[in-house]
Amino acid sequence: MTNSNFLITIIGPTAIGKTALSIALAQHFGCEIISCDSRQFYKEMKIGTAVPTEQELKAAPHHFIQNKSIFENYSVGDFEREAIVKLDELFKKNNIQIMVGGSGLYVDAILKGFDDFPDIDPTIREEIKKEFDLNGLNYLHNKLKELDPIYFEKISAENPQTLQNPQRMMRFVEVCLGTEKPYSSFLNQKKNKRNFIPIVIGLEAEREIMYNRINRRVDLMLEDGLLNEAKNLFPNKQLNALQTVGYRELFDYFEGKTSLEFAIEEIKKNTRRFAKRQLTWFMRTENVMWFDFKTDVNEIITQINQKTKQPN
């Protein structure tokens, strides 16, 4: 039997217009939206993660928006399991659904599935955690360099923010120690089967336009109260969820390390860098239909209909 479910996935750098397009498509196809933005999950982080407005959320049903707390441990694996269950449910109502977000790893988790890792003795994780508590990220970096130098170089070049994520780094080291094999040896195995055909839409813009949109978004976040939001989160600044552009820079300001003006410029600069990394990641994604961010939605719908064989 031919698979007739389609997951329209909208990717692209931050502030490019993915939310607006996802809503327009959801309204056209009468379907719902799965968010795969790894920071919009957290209900305490509304302004700094550019969560869709109340009006946007009412315009189409959304899932995985502000559904978790920063105090919960929520991994990309957890998201994969929950999102696949939700998609199975949604496909019973409509054979077209939409996923949108700028978190490349989370997009890949849904479109491709994860590599299969063996179970690891939990005492190994406990020992790694003790070493991390004593020696910090340097311990994890040095251990991964020793046990899997190829993978360490890969993430350093392609996804450097991962090096600042203790949970991810502990997982890499845990797999190396628990299996006595490099973490990278488990990658690119046969992936999980999916009950949908992905249609991937990419939005892009000239670099200067993209950067101007990012700068403007940061200004709007500050007007909307980002400073107060960050101030309320400051006592919990050590949490993994808060190791995020837009908050880290303001935490430095609250600690007296920088001026407010410098912190704001750092947010803009680091968001621009983040957008460049997003584009690098997404450019490796297969079979993307790229559109200029100003493309009329009807043109995009026509291209989608050709893929799904739907009448225009």
SS3 56: helix
C-alpha distances (whole Å) from 227 to each of 31, 46, 254, 267, 302 are: 35, 12, 10, 12, 42
Structure tokens at 89: 């449910």
Question: For residues 111 and 84, is the Cβ–Cβ distance under 8 A?
Answer: no
**Is 104 marked within a binding site?**
no
**Is 14 marked within a binding site?**
yes
**Is 13 marked within a binding site?**
yes
Distance from C-alpha of 171 to C-alpha of 67, rounded to nearest angstrom? 24
**Is 205 marked within a binding site?**
no
**Is 18 marked within a binding site?**
yes
Largest separation between any pair of C-alpha atoms in the chain:
63
Distance from C-alpha of 40 to C-alpha of 34, rounded to nearest angstrom? 11
Residue indicated by tokens 């969560």: 51
**Is 15 marked within a binding site?**
yes
**Is 109 marked within a binding site?**
no
Strand ordering across the sheet containing 33-35: 62-63, 33-35, 96-100, 6-11, 197-204, 288-292
Q: Is the dihedral of CA 207, 213, 217, 220 positive or negative?
A: positive
**Is 258 marked within a binding site?**
no
Cite the annotated binding site for ATP by residue number: 12-19
Cite the annotated binding site by residue number: 12-19
Cite the annotated binding site for substrate by residue number: 14-19
